[in-house]
Amino acid sequence: MNVKKTTVRLTVMAMLIGLEIVLSRFLSIPTSITKIGFAFIPVAAAALLLGPLAAGAVGALGDLLGALLFPIGAYFPGFTLTAFLMGLCYGLFLYKDAAFWRVIAAVGVHQFVLSMLLNSLWLWIISTSADKGYWAVVLARVPQTLLLAAVQLAVIPALVRILPRLRKALP
């Protein structure tokens, strides 16, 4: 990999990390059990443009830096792991072939496995009311998961149509 290509990739990743932090920390609607917003867009863009590992790095670094610079609560590394896995998932499904069935698969794994199951586990672990039980937390998150899945299924195909022009601009 030449220096120019590496520099451009790192610059794009840095811009997407910054955008993820802004969308996640300042332009999302926090609820007691989830955040509703568009912070997935920079991670999906990284997946489409740069691949799975870069998208995982954008997700993880965006979560980590956002938590350190603009904390909402105590930092918990499980959410950073989920953010990395989300980027990895998007990259594995969408990089180089973003057919609509692959978008559905990526959103399904992200929302119903990583967000609803794994993030619910993290919330249950750090919750002060852990006596409710894990499945109570999961069930409480079902409506938000369905809403966010629908939003992602509408937005990611639009990204798929827009981003090829940007990909051509990258060396």
CATH T-level assignment (fold) for domain 3-169: Arp2/3 complex 21 kDa subunit ARPC3 (1.10.1760)
- Strands (E) located in the chain: 29-30, 35-36
pTM of the model: 0.89
- pLDDT at residue 1, as a whole number: 58
- At 170, the pLDDT band (50, 70, 90 cuts) reads low
Q: Are 125 and 79 in contact (CB under 8 A)?
A: no
First to last CA, the chain: 11
- pLDDT at residue 162, as a whole number: 87
For residues 81 and 100, give the distance between their C-alpha atoms in angstroms, rounded to a whole number: 26
- pLDDT at residue 129, as a whole number: 60
Write out pLDDT tens, residues 18-77.
Answer: 999 999 888 888 776 667 789 999 999 999 999 999 999 999 999 999 999 998 888 999
